[in-house]
Amino acid sequence: HRSAFEEVRFVGSSGAGKVPLGLKRKGMRIVVTGGAGFVGSHLVDRLMARGDSVIVVDNFFTGRKENVAHHFGKPNFELIRHDVVEPLLLEVDQIYHLACPASPVHYKFNPVKTIISFSFLTNVVGTLNMLGLAKRVGARFLLTSTSEVYGDPLQHPQAETYWGNVNPIGVRSCYDEGKRTAETLTMDYHRGAKVEVRIARIFNTYGPRMCIDDGRVVSNFVAQALRKEALTVYGDGKQTRSFQYVSDLVEGLMRLMDGEHVGPFNLGNPGEFTMLELAKVVQETIDPNARIEFKDNTPDDPHKRKPDIAKAKDLLNWEPTVPLRKGLPLMVNDFRKRIFGDHIAATT
């Protein structure tokens, strides 16, 4: 692993006024798989701002070129259209592996073949390929796993020591089991091939650039309220989730990658809301008159979810700073622009 720092000597313009030796960060070569997606594109922004050379690898299954278009033409940015299920040869220092068809619409409702090829294969074969790449070039590898590895949890809040309660034959299991296998492969390459690895278990995250129609609850409610449609609450709406703003997640991912601990680490905001409470926050933020419509829930929907983040606080010195009521308006501005266009957004 190439050191992120190089010693530099600061010398005054005359050469006389020497200042003490300092450490200046040297740019690294970093690949972000899934970098044209929601989380990936925000991570890419931070890495670019830090001065790293960033290679985005994405097949645009759910990601969009527009999410990274503002970096086109910069010498330290590259975008490769590639499916990580196929082998990939690159020379890099770090691999942030985010590529995964993550949206519930795609894994719950698509035909079986699509589910298997895009979700499970991406998580298993795609992760294997990126670990093979990490092994060959000696790069550090970070897996973005998920709170879904805990399934419908019997422990609350969930700590990293909990092994989970996943239904192996349920409608969500191709995603849950795919990520669980990806974690297994990551630890096997760590133990067997001495690859430097990091594992993040990400809890529900929201923010600008989320897919508008991918069926996740925050994007659904925000888009529905803006379009004057009813907010669709599934089941009785008493199930809970903990919503993290994307900038907090990106900070956590970078601390994890650049720190000394393998993990797994929960990265999420412990603020817990029922779906009815979330609907209320969306009403307060966008439209107090937005109606609520109850719909059938999908099977195996986890009843409760809230991260125990003591480990990340302690070892990464990380905790979220943006509460839901602060983060939601930031996302609403972006959704307004994308749904109605810049002109209308400016006047509403």
Contact positions vs ligand UDP (CB under 6 A)? 87-89, 104, 128-129, 132-133, 135-136, 204, 216-217, 220, 232-234, 239, 241, 275, 297, 301
Beta strands 240-242 and 272-274 are antiparallel
Q: Is 39 in the site for ligand NAD (CB under 6 A)?
A: yes
Give the other-Cβ count within 10 Å of 301's Cβ. Answer: 15
Q: Is 151 in the site for ligand NAD (CB under 6 A)?
A: no
**189 among known catalytic residues:** no
Q: Provide, rounded to whole angstroms, the least separation between the CB of residue 88 and ligand UDP.
A: 5
User: 306: which DSSP letter?
Assistant: -
Query: Can you tell me which of 61, 77, 221, 335 binds ligand NAD, judged by CB under 6 A?
Result: 61
Q: Which is nearer to ligand UDP, 86 or 284 (CB)?
A: 86
- Tell me which residue of 81, 74, 85 sits closest to 36, measured CA to CA: 81
Contact partner, 85, from ligand NAD, ligand UDP, none, Cβ < 5-8 Å per class: ligand NAD
Contact partner, 144, from ligand NAD, ligand UDP, none, Cβ < 5-8 Å per class: ligand NAD
Identity of the residue numbered 327: G
Q: Which is nearer to ligand NAD, 234 or 294 (CB)?
A: 234
Q: How far apart are CA 253 and CA 154, in angstroms?
A: 26
Residue number of the CB closest to ligand UDP reads 132
The β-bridge partners of 240 are 274
Task: Say if CB 126 and CB 98 are below 8 A apart.
Answer: no
Give the distance, in angstroms, between the CA of residue 33 and the centroid of all CA atoms in the same chain.
11
Task: Say if CB 9 and CB 21 are below 8 A apart.
Answer: yes
Return the active site residues: 175
Write out the residues near ligand NAD by the rule CB under 6 A: 33-34, 36-40, 57-63, 83-85, 98-103, 122, 126, 144, 146, 202, 204-205, 211
